[in-house]
């Protein structure tokens, strides 16, 4: 089982890198075709190496930076106050045939949870103080099942890999914008191509948001691996959104990095200022436009609630 799991993990990482690599080679070939000898292979290689370095470095040391940001502290075995969290994580992992990750408590007031890790930091799961104060034990256990789903599907590694695509596109377009203009044989297309690459990078970022919404929905389905999980995850989501700050026009999004927001169980900016019972009943019958979450890193709560409703036992 461990060998099979390792093969799946390797395949998911390599698939994402392969997609990014193939697309990058196509773009570099097109740029070389349009620009000819005015664009050196050395410059293109330098851009690619720089982006790869930044992406891999972020992947490797990201868990330590996240730990500092959220002020996480590992829950040790035998902790008199939080041993029950370790017990629940162990039980959920057993239901999913997963190795138990290191569990952390995040000293931040807002209710949330996230799974993360890297080859040097190992697999980690963090629960905020705010979540413990808001949810009951069964709801927390359902959220844990959701987060174990992310670890089970190797979502963090996949997001890091496909994130190479827009990074490469942006830096390539930015570089061409300031280096391609010296080619007099490009008939004035230099500026348009560079701007086009930058625009494409933003389009790919929107696609990555779509991938993240799908992986969130897929992790929600993992709540069915524990008794009563889907129903408890519904109430957990409703309570978190109800307790989160309301959006106001012109209000800035969470100060956390965009990648960190991708890891969270729920959108930290999705507060609606309603009682969670009302929200839950409203979402179960709400009709949500396909464009409602186009620029969001999490699915619309109503979509998540309705998906969980269909898998209730």
pLDDT of 74 reads 96
Residue 9 reports pLDDT greater than 60: no
Read off the pLDDT of each residue in 72-86 and give the average, rounded to a whole number: 95
Q: What is the pLDDT of residues 123-153, one digit of tens each?
A: 999 999 999 999 999 999 999 999 999 999 8
Is the separation of the CB atoms in 189 and 43 below 8 Å?
A: no
pLDDT digits (tens, 9 = 90+) for 193-209: 778 778 888 888 888 88
Residue 242 in tokens: 């109800």
Top mean-pLDDT range of 4-8, 28-32, 284-288: 284-288
The reported pTM is: 0.81
Q: Give domain limits for the chain.
A: 2-310
- Number of residues in the chain: 313
Looking at residue 98, the DSSP 8-state letter turns out to be -
What backbone torsions phi and psi does residue 145 show, to the nearest 5 degrees? -60, -40
Q: 23 pLDDT exceeds 90?
A: no
Cα–Cα distance between 166 and 231 in angstroms, integer? 37
The closest of 24, 130, 136, 12 to 70, measured between CA atoms, is 130
Structure tokens at 244: 């989160």
- How far is the C-alpha of 190 from the C-alpha of 179, rounded, in Å? 9
What mean pLDDT is predicted for residues 204-230? 88
Determine which helix (DSSP H) or strand (DSSP E) holds 218, and give its type and residue range: helix 190-221
Give the active site residues: 147
Using one digit for the tens of pLDDT, what is the confidence trace for 261-295? 778 888 877 766 678 888 899 999 888 887 777 78
Tell me the two tokens of residue 280: 């839950």
């Amino acid at each position: 089982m461990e060998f099979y799991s390792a093969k799946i993990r390797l395949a998911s990482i390599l698939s994402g890198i392969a997609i990014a690599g193939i697309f990058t080679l196509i773009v570099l070939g097109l740029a070389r075709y349009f620009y000819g000898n005015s664009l050196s292979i050395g410059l293109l290689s330098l851009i690619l190496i720089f982006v790869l370095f930044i992406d891999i470095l972020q992947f490797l040391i990201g868990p330590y930076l996240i730990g500092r940001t959220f002020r996480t502290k590992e829950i040790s075995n035998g902790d008199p106050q939080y041993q029950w969290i370790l017990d629940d994580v162990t039980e959920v992992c057993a239901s999913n045939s997963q190795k138990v990750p290191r569990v952390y408590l995040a000293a931040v007031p807002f209710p949330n949870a996230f799974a993360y890790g890297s080859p040097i930091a190992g697999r980690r799961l963090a629960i905020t103080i705010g979540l413990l104060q808001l949810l009951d034990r069964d709801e927390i256990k359902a959220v844990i099942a959701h987060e174990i789903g992310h670890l089970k599907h190797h979502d963090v590694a996949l997001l890091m890999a496909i994130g190479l695509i827009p990074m490469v596109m942006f830096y390539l377009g930015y570089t061409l914008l300031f280096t391609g203009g010296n080619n007099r044989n490009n008939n004035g297309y230099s500026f348009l191509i560079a701007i086009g690459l930058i625009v494409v990078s933003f389009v790919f970022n929107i696609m990555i948001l779509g991938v993240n919404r799908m992986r969130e929905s897929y992790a929600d389905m993992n709540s069915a691996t524990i008794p009563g999980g889907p129903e408890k995850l519904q109430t957990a989501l409703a309570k978190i959104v109800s307790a989160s700050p309301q959006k106001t026009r012109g209000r800035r999004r969470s100060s956390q990095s965009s990648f960190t927001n991708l890891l969270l169980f729920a959108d930290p900016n999705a507060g609606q200022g309603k009682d969670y019972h009302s929200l839950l009943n409203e979402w179960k019958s709400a009709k949500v436009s396909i464009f409602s979450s186009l620029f969001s890193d999490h699915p619309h709560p109503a979509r998540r609630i309705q998906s969980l409703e269909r898998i209730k036992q």
